[in-house]
């Protein structure tokens, strides 16, 4: 039995194929430049390596059809025909406050996604197109929606409300929603495993740092607060997003320059953050290289990003009302950028967060959970590589079987101390060959056999 997961963005379509019987990823890839010229598909099949093919994809229907043809191709494919796919999981950015868990897609569910797409104008239309395209190609299997916002529905009103006219909330659904929920669900559950605790007894602060970045305060195993707001713009300094700033800034710039609402939206989402401050770079690798060459604006961008992260950690410790068990780094930058992690943790020793610089320097893998805190640190510092696709896969399977429920009443396979990701286990062998010292910081799972 095979589960297909799709993540359709405005100009891309990512996919993963999971062999449920063998509990293994057998293929993954991405179609890029959907709706634009110069489209292509990059396909990675287990045991067959990587193949990239140019192919124009003027819409998401053609992109999904291209994925299906690639998966069944005699040379590079991994399945004989589409009948082995029994369910499809779809990432949906914004479900508003209508969903607290993943759901099987129905016409009513799709209509709800359309009704809130003003809250996610860059993502929801593409998510909907991807679902509809996949339904045309695979009409006889359940299609399941996994929402970035669902995890955060446990936040109390003091965390999700804005201090604006209350009618904005009742009439226009203005509130904090939060995103990266699937990543936070995975890393929060794995943090409980790593700590040897029950989810309901686990208190952690998670920093999901990629091009987009957000943090989540997890109290008693549930989302308590998060940095992103009604859209993914609020909160941390990101690759091209400003994060927190005075709302009056937009009015000021419109009066001074004549910028339109669309101009402001574009500037804050696509021309700000690291790119806006440095003037050139949105990628942290480029920022680091420029800093080493003496670029002061790149250095300022780096300091702004890490200061904002550090400030939120302090505020979440205060909001939690007790000492957290751990600080968790995840996503591309969180998992691989030692410099960002070190700068974020620097100066937090008085709060109980004490990093071991030597451990941090060798922590570079997506294939294992590592501990980079000093041995005497009251609060642990973990790097837990995220796995959003696995959450989507397990949700889709459970929905298909009728065994799924909200995460506080549902147990995932990765919550077992004995859980093993086969692909990551294979990758870890290669990582250890290149970096033998990595073995010293890999977390030993309590209770694992």
In this structure, the number of other CB atoms found within 10 A of the CB of residue 447 comes to 9
pLDDT of residue 49: 86
pLDDT of residue 133: 87
Q: Going by DSSP bridges, is the β-strand pair 24-32/143-147 parallel, antiparallel, or unpaired?
A: unpaired
Q: 265: Cβ–Cβ under 8 A, 6 or more apart, which residues? A: none
Identify the residue whose tokens are 């003027």: 58
Say if CB 24 and CB 17 are below 8 A apart: no
Say if CB 194 and CB 325 are below 8 A apart: no
Q: Is 405 a catalytic residue?
A: no
DSSP string, 262-315: HHHHHHHHHS-HHHHHHSS--SHHHHHHHHHTT-HHHHHHHHHHHHHHHHHHHH
Alpha-carbon span 347 to 25, nearest angstrom: 41
Alpha-carbon span 45 to 52, nearest angstrom: 12
Alpha-carbon span 324 to 314, nearest angstrom: 11
Active-site residue, from 19, 148, 295, 387: 148
pLDDT of residue 44: 93
pLDDT of residue 11: 77
Query: Quick check: helix, strand or coil at residue 368?
Result: coil
Hey, what are 163's tokens? 């201090």
Alpha-carbon span 248 to 254, nearest angstrom: 10
pLDDT of residue 33: 87
In this structure, the number of other CB atoms found within 10 A of the CB of residue 346 comes to 13
pTM for the full predicted model: 0.94
Hey, what are 270's tokens? 């696509």
Say if CB 166 and CB 215 are below 8 A apart: no
Alpha-carbon span 242 to 253, nearest angstrom: 14
- Domains along the chain? 2-147 (3.30.420.40), 198-383 (3.30.420.40)
Question: For the chain (length 449 residues), average pLDDT per consecutive 10?
Answer: 89 91 93 88 91 90 90 91 91 87 94 85 82 89 94 97 97 94 97 97 97 96 97 95 96 98 94 96 94 97 98 97 97 96 97 98 96 98 96 95 95 96 93 96 93
Alpha-carbon span 360 to 381, nearest angstrom: 10
Question: Which letter, b or e, does each residue of 296-308 get, where b requires 16 or more Cβ atoms within 10 Å of its Cβ?
Answer: ebbbebbebbbeb
Q: Burial-class residue 440 by CB neighbours within 10 Å (0-12, 13-18, 19+).
A: exposed
Count of helices and strands (H, E) across the chain: 16, 14
In this structure, the number of other CB atoms found within 10 A of the CB of residue 159 comes to 17
């Amino acid at each position: 039995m095979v589960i297909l997961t799709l993540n359709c963005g405005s100009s891309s379509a990512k996919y993963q194929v999971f062999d449920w019987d063998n509990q293994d990823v057998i293929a993954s890839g991405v179609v890029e430049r959907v709706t634009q010229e110069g489209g292509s598909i990059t396909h990675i099949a287990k045991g067959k390596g990587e193949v990239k093919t140019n192919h124009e994809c003027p819409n998401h229907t053609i992109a999904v059809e291209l994925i299906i043809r690639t998966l069944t191709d005699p040379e590079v494919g991994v399945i004989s025909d589409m009948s082995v796919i029994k369910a499809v999981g779809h990432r949906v950015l914004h479900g508003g406050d209508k969903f607290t868990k993943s759901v099987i897609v129905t016409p009513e569910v799709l209509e709800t996604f359309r009704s809130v797409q003003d809250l996610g104008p860059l993502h929801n239309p593409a998510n909907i197109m991807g679902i509809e395209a996949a339904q045309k190609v695979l009409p006889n299997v359940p299609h399941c929606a996994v929402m970035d916002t669902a995890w955060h529905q446990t936040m109390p009103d003091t965390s999700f409300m804005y201090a604006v006219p209350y009618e904005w909330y009742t009439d226009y659904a203005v509130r904090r929603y939060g995103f990266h929920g699937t990543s936070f669900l995975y890393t929060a559950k794995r943090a409980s495993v790593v700590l040897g605790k029950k989810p309901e007894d686990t208190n952690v602060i998670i920093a999901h740092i990629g091009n987009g970045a957000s943090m989540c305060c997890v109290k008693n195993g549930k989302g308590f607060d998060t940095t992103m707001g009604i859209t993914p713009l609020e909160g941390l300094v990101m690759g091209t997003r400003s994060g927190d700033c005075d709302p009056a800034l937009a009015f000021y710039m419109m009066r001074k320059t004549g910028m339109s609402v669309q101009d402001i939206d574009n500037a804050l989402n696509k021309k700000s953050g690291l790119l806006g401050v440095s003037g050139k770079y949105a990628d942290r690798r480029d920022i680091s290289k420029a800093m080493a060459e003496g670029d002061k604006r790149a250095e300022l961008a780096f300091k702004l990003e890490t200061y904002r992260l550090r400030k939120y950690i302090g505020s979440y410790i205060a909001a939690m009302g007790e000492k957290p068990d751990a600080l968790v780094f995840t996503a591309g930058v969180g998992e691989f950028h030692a410099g960002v992690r070190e700068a974020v943790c620097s100066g937090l020793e008085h709060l109980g967060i004490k990093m071991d610089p030597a451990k941090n320097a060798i922590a570079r893998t997506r294939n294992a959970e590592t501990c980079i805190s000093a041995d005497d640190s009251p609060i642990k510092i973990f790097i837990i590589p995220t796995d959003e696709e696995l959450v989507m896969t397990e949700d889709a399977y459970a929905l298909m079987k009728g065994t799924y429920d909200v995460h506080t009443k549902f147990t995932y396979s990765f919550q077992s101390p004995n859980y093993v990701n086969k692909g990551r286990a294979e990758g870890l062998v290669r990582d250890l060959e290149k970096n033998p010292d990595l073995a010293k910081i890999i977390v030993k799972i309590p209770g694992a056999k």
